[in-house]
């Protein structure tokens, strides 16, 4: 009886100590978590990284936007005298004249390779059109300056340069490439390239800066 009583007393006497020890550990852990939370260990650093932008970077970004807006609102700045402004609107366009066996005329194809403009001064603009002329067939043909015109505000202009002679022969199944220059007014608005052959003509609308 005495031994069992001592064992029971020993067991019940150690339980409060265990509970007290566990409570102490929980209290310590709680204090540690609170301390770490106050130091910012549990906060994400992503918002702070987003806000870490130097004043210099902000200034340069604003400056770039202002410059871009200024260039857009001032189209004359993009095409100053002596500078070429490329225009890809009609690049790749083709004009085709069908073959005429009765006249021994092969198929004739004109292709626009490039269109650009250059302001010489405040009044004169040089419009450059690069063409490829192709003969598809067994009969060659002639390409003349008279066959190529730039219509500027319904006024037909002949080439001002001599890249194509008055009458240049293109052999059968071959091509030639030439760049034609036309003098126009800087105030011109409507540009059309006109191709002539025999008693017919075809045209392409161009947008020239």
CB neighbourhood size of 31 (10 A): 10
Task: Quote the pLDDT of residue 90.
Answer: 77
Residues 88 and 65 in one domain: no
pLDDT band, residue 43 (cuts 50/70/90):
low
Select from 58, 75, 92 the last residue of a domain: 75
pLDDT of 158 > 60? The answer is: yes
The per-residue pLDDT for range 19-38, each reduced to its tens digit, is 777 777 888 888 778 877 77
**Residue 153 maps to which CATH number?**
2.60.40.1240
Pairing type for strands 148-152 and 191-197 reads antiparallel
What is the tally of structural domains in the chain? 2
* Residue 151 CB-density burial (10 A; 0-12 exposed, 13-18 middle, 19+ buried): middle
Domain that holds residue 193: 84-206
Select from 44, 75, 106 the last residue of a domain: 75
Mean pLDDT of 142-169: 83
Geometric angle at alpha carbon 171, from 167 and 172, rounded to 5°: 135
Q: Is residue 151 within 8 Å of 192, Cβ to Cβ? A: yes
Residues 117 and 166 in one domain: yes
Select from 17, 47, 75 the last residue of a domain: 75
Task: Quote the pLDDT of residue 60.
Answer: 43
Residues 65 and 122 in one domain: no
Residues 154 and 126 in one domain: yes
Residues 97 and 128 in one domain: yes
Residues 104 and 54 in one domain: no
Task: Quote the pLDDT of residue 198.
Answer: 87
Percent of the chain whose pLDDT exceeds 90: 41
pLDDT of 59 > 80? The answer is: no
Task: Quote the pLDDT of residue 127.
Answer: 94
Residues 189 and 140 in one domain: yes
Q: Is residue 93 within 8 Å of 112, Cβ to Cβ? A: yes
Task: Quote the pLDDT of residue 146.
Answer: 83
State the pTM of this model: 0.57
pLDDT of 66 > 50? The answer is: no
Residues 8 and 69 in one domain: yes
Residues 20 and 97 in one domain: no
Mean pLDDT of 143-153: 90
Written as one string, the DSSP assignment of 157-183 is E--SS-SS-SEEEE-TTEEEEEEEEEE
Residues 40 and 90 in one domain: no
Percent of the chain whose pLDDT exceeds 70: 65
Residues 71 and 89 in one domain: no
Residues 88 and 184 in one domain: yes
The per-residue pLDDT for range 163-205, each reduced to its tens digit, is 555 678 899 999 999 899 999 999 999 999 999 998 899 999 9
């Amino acid at each position: 009886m005495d031994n069992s009583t001592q064992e029971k007393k020993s067991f019940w006497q150690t339980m409060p100590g265990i509970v007290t020890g566990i409570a102490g550990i929980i209290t310590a852990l709680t204090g540690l978590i609170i301390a770490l939370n106050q130091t910012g260990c549990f906060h994400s650093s992503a918002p702070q990284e987003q806000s870490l932008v130097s004043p210099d970077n902000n200034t340069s970004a604003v400056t770039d936007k202002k410059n871009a807006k200024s260039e857009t609102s001032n189209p004359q700045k993009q095409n100053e005298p002596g500078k070429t402004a490329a225009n890809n609107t009609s690049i790749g366009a083709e004009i085709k004249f069908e073959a005429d066996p009765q006249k021994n005329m092969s198929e004739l194809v004109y292709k626009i390779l490039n269109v650009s403009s250059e302001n010489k001064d405040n009044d004169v603009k040089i419009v450059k059109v690069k063409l490829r002329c192709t003969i598809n067939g067994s009969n060659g043909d002639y390409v003349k300056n008279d066959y190529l015109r730039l219509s500027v505000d319904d006024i037909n202009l002949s080439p001002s340069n001599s890249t194509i002679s008055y009458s240049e022969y293109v052999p059968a199944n071959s091509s030639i490439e030439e760049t034609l220059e036309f003098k126009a007014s800087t105030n011109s608005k409507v540009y059309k390239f006109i191709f002539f052959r025999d008693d017919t003509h075809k045209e392409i609308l161009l947008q020239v800066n």
